[in-house]
Amino acid sequence: MADVAHLVSQAREGNPRAVARLISLVEGAAPELREVMATLAPLSGSAHVIGITGSPGVGKSTSTSALVTAYRQRGKRVGVLAVDPSSPFSGGALLGDRVRMGEHASDPGVYIRSMATRGHLGGLAWSAPQAIRVLDAAGCDVVLVETVGVGQSEVEIAAQADTSVVLLAPGMGDGIQAAKAGILEIGDVFVVNKADRDGADATARELNHMLGLGEARGPGDWRPPIVKTVAARGEGTDEVVEALEKHRAWMEEHGVLAERRLKRAAQEVETIAVTALRERIADLHGDKRLGALAERVAGGSLDAYSAADELVEGLTGEK
Ligand SMILES: Nc1nc2c(ncn2[C@@H]2O[C@H](COP(=O)(O)OP(=O)(O)OP(=O)(O)O)[C@@H](O)[C@H]2O)c(=O)[nH]1
Ligand SMILES: [Mg+2]
């Protein structure tokens, strides 16, 4: 068994191996998981969690890397979590990310970690928040969560983040795609990357138009800004950081940050509880209680609903 208290204090001192070890423990649902989470609970909550999402190849990793540079210049410690819902591989950085994040590999103020969620019990909803909490407790001021994918995984990531950045690029038919996938609703900040290519202005205009078509905003409501970037050259990155800081300030001013985190906590507790219940229910085959109830239902002395109620009570009443 790992010495959790020792690992946590090392992680808070900035030891990258301790951080990596803690993430492995929570990700692999190790026996130490509960102790790790209990130790981290009072230590987390100060990081700004930023989700970065968008279609494959739009420039998420390049933008993430540029953001890391910008935040490091501002003296912030940064955690990066690259989540790939389609990959069964975890641990090291993905090959492409390793290349694009390479310049940060030796920076002690940056932690980079990739995470696969396929085949994970509870998937993204279960594993990402716990890894985020490790990075937060380890003293990261900013945690960038990059996720590739469409639809559900993007929406799930948005639910984990304080601020969601949606990336688009010109000439990918992204505008229409975004509207379809419900991405317009999750974006707090929109970035049109690859602005060195033709069509960036048109994409930004189209997006602006679509955002404007949404329901009327009241005074004090957040109007998601659209920032054009050339992430490959770091152009526009300062404006993105500015938009992110503004969004955080706006959330704090309007109580939205607390609201989002409360919602997230409720969802996390629910996911863990449902997973635990599902595990117990999956264990029921051959369970004596089920057998006895089944006999009564088959014999007509008990209806199936009452039997199910009894069974659920039996499952939740014990520890
Ligand atoms: N022209 C141009 N190319 C860019 C820019 N930013 C990124 N690219 C290139 O676009 C390609 C994809 O960039 P990535 O950062 O890997 O994109 P991604 O969204 O992380 O890709 P996946 O993780 O595979 O979904 C790479 O070849 C980048 O060099 C940009 O601003 N302009
Ligand atoms: Mg990437």
Q: What span, in angstroms and rounded, lies between the C-alpha atoms of 149 and 172?
A: 15
Which of 52, 55, 62 should be mutated for ligand 1, with most atoms under 8 A from CB?
62
Q: Can you give the pLDDT of all 319 residues of the chain as single tens digits? A: 789 999 999 999 988 889 989 988 888 777 888 899 999 999 989 999 999 988 888 899 899 999 999 999 999 999 998 886 665 555 444 444 555 566 777 777 888 888 766 555 445 556 788 889 999 999 999 999 988 655 566 667 677 899 999 999 997 665 556 555 577 788 999 999 999 999 999 989 888 888 876 666 777 889 999 999 999 999 999 999 999 999 999 999 999 999 999 988 898 888 888 878 888 777 777 778 889 999 999 999 999 999 999 988 887 765 4
**Three-class secondary structure of residue 13 per DSSP:** coil
Ligand 1 binding pocket includes 53 (Cβ within 6 Å): no
Which H, E and C letters describe 83-94, residue by residue? EECCCCCCECCC
Model confidence over 233-270: pLDDT tens digits? 999 999 999 999 999 999 999 999 999 999 888 988 88
Domains of the chain (ranges; CATH) run: 45-254 (3.40.50.300), 270-317 (no CATH)
What pLDDT score does 125 carry? Answer: 52
What pLDDT score does 258 carry? Answer: 94
Q: Which helix (H) or strand (E) covers residue 145, if one does?
A: strand 142-148
**Three-class secondary structure of residue 16 per DSSP:** helix
Q: Which helix (H) or strand (E) covers residue 280, if one does?
A: helix 256-282
pTM: 0.86
Ligand 1 binding pocket includes 93 (Cβ within 6 Å): no
Q: What span, in angstroms and rounded, lies between the C-alpha atoms of 239 and 223?
A: 15
What pLDDT score does 176 carry? Answer: 56
Ligand 1 binding pocket includes 31 (Cβ within 6 Å): no
What pLDDT score does 7 carry? Answer: 94
What pLDDT score does 40 carry? Answer: 92
Q: What span, in angstroms and rounded, lies between the C-alpha atoms of 149 and 82?
A: 12
What pLDDT score does 214 carry? Answer: 61
Ligand 1 binding pocket includes 148 (Cβ within 6 Å): yes
Which of 53, 61, 148 should be mutated for ligand 1, with most atoms under 8 A from CB?
61
CA of 61 to the centre of ligand 1 (A): 7
Ligand 1 binding pocket includes 62 (Cβ within 6 Å): yes
What pLDDT score does 4 carry? Answer: 92
What pLDDT score does 128 carry? Answer: 81
What pLDDT score does 122 carry? Answer: 47
Ligand 1 binding pocket includes 59 (Cβ within 6 Å): yes
Q: Which ligand is nearest to the CA of 53?
A: 1
Choose among 147, 53, 154, 64: nearest CA to 110: 64
